[in-house]
Structure 1
């Protein structure tokens, strides 16, 4: 096993690797600092926190394999006590995340993904690819599938197989301070050869099955308490692995006053004026980072006399005083 490049300690790290002369690539991630920053802005029941923490790790793992100048937005639209979970990750691995709950929901600490998000079988898992450099009229790519799986890793594996035709396995673990994950992916074959890696299909399958078997010995407690380099040594010490330069995810919220103003324009002047009449200002908190934006009567009047496009790019909640 070749491990010339080691992740830096103390910061979030995503470590890519590939099995030499094989058709399997992988990624380990420790995204704990980003996860702690996410939790500092919102409080969630333990069961919701567990799923959202896994989504943060999974979104970064999937995004890191995309040659794409834009953002990946991972969403679960639920029909249970959790109505929405969202994680957004851009090309620089900057992430933000939030969840929306039914205000009346009573959520058990050990509630499962189906109980939280698919109580009536109508939950949906969605991945959106939103390019930064869209052509005129171009819409983001969006893949939507039923919420198929008893845990988040299985949901994403089923999505990748159904929508992207890629064999993908995920191992995810989180608590209130740590979020980590491992992704393995079988590279596609074309005419009996893997992308850039010559290998027979039979040998590729053997390598894939062995890699999955080794990774499946990893327990959540071990993943949460052990650094990436040690985990790779424990799991793949007999394999010939190439390890690449690590990247470093981070928390970042892209909300701005301009974007919130555009969202208010989409609501329309009558609704905004009604809020002004009742409360004297319109106050909006970003769901992702908690930043408060206040608009008084003069601010709101200016919104509706400018020709700025009305694009709402953040999720925000109006707060009444």
Structure 2
């Protein structure tokens, strides 16, 4: 298990509530290494990575979770994917000349919307959309769940360009407490305590210490951590399928226009897949997308 990239679940014995904590360092560093992000953009992207990891921990599915934020401002796109195998990747698009070091979510992403998509390998794709109407991504995500029919869920997210951390609290179906007023009071108690958490505490404290800081008067069970890692899902095979969708004549013409080969760049990891006319002929002959032998003439 990675010592730096993991989620860890916890339960309250006296309340119908659970929680999840996430810590990202290596995978966050991999994402930031692919593009020269300004610090405010790196922070937002780290928070979204942490949110995706927390959400995957709450879902039981086989596929891909996608968080995509769009706006009319200096950051027109934030996009993070986390698979059910707990593999993360992310990207941001930004206009550097419009970004100030002190900008937050409202300044960077005005008129923003956040789409949450669950794309299972088998079954129906689901998408929910919410406006980015909070001061932070955590507030906007919390609003999304508050306005849905799902269980009450709150987020706390922080990132500083080196570490991305997050805390999620979620109400559970009534078992310990069946009285609605009692359940509401307990939920408020837990979230008010979490609201007291300072950024430096979330970024700097280990999970056991953090939970003791917040809930030392409660009985909290902390479970074993589950590893996360950066991994891009791009491949030569997927790029080849995109070429096949063009048709052989159009693919060959495109290669000729581009000086003899088509280069397909992955926006997430900057890897380039190159296909020359011989590769294209091989594809359409049904011989696959393997890279040709270097001795081929």
Residue in 2 that maps onto 1:224: 203
CA distance in 1, matches of 2:284, 2:97: 38
Describe how 1:94-243 pairs up with structure 2 within 5 A: 94-102=87-95, 105-118=97-110, 121=111, 123-134=112-123, 139-188=124-173, 194=174, 196-243=175-222
CA 1:307–1:154 in 2, change beyond 3 Å: closer, same or farther? farther
Residue in 1 that maps onto 2:72: 79
CA contact (8 A) 1:30 1:228 kept: no
Alpha-carbon distance, 1:294 to partner: 0.9
CA distance in 1, matches of 2:143, 2:2: 33
CA contact (8 A) 2:252 2:277 kept: no
CA contact (8 A) 1:36 1:177 kept: yes
CA distance in 2, matches of 1:146, 1:307: 47
Deviation string 1:287-309 (CA, Å, 9 cap, x unpaired) is 2222221111122344455599x
CA contact (8 A) 1:23 1:199 kept: no
What is the SS of the residue equivalent to 2:147?
Answer: helix
CA 1:272–1:160 in 2, change beyond 3 Å: closer, same or farther? farther
Residue in 2 that maps onto 1:61: 54
CA distance in 1, matches of 2:218, 2:37: 40
CA 1:132–1:257 in 2, change beyond 3 Å: closer, same or farther? same
CA distance in 2, matches of 1:203, 1:111: 40
What is the SS of the residue equivalent to 2:226?
Answer: coil
Alpha-carbon distance, 1:9 to partner: 7.8
Q: What are structure 1's unaligned runs of at least 5 residues? A: 1-7, 189-193, 309-321
Query: What TM-score do the two structures reach when normalised by structure 2?
Result: 0.88
Alpha-carbon distance, 1:267 to partner: 5.3
Q: What are structure 2's unaligned runs of at least 5 residues? A: 289-297
Describe how 1:14-53 pairs up with structure 2 within 5 A: 14-53=7-46
Alpha-carbon distance, 1:25 to partner: 1.1
CA distance in 1, matches of 2:252, 2:129: 33
CA 1:18–1:244 in 2, change beyond 3 Å: closer, same or farther? same
Greater CA drift, 154-163 or 259-268: 259-268
Describe how 1:8-19 pairs up with structure 2 within 5 A: 10-19=3-12
Alpha-carbon distance, 1:28 to partner: 1.1
CA 1:271–1:112 in 2, change beyond 3 Å: closer, same or farther? farther
CA distance in 1, matches of 2:185, 2:256: 66
Residue in 2 that maps onto 1:299: 279
CA distance in 2, matches of 1:9, 1:259: 29
Deviation string 1:147-170 (CA, Å, 9 cap, x unpaired) is 222211111111112234432221
CA contact (8 A) 2:2 2:227 kept: no
CA 1:162–1:276 in 2, change beyond 3 Å: closer, same or farther? farther
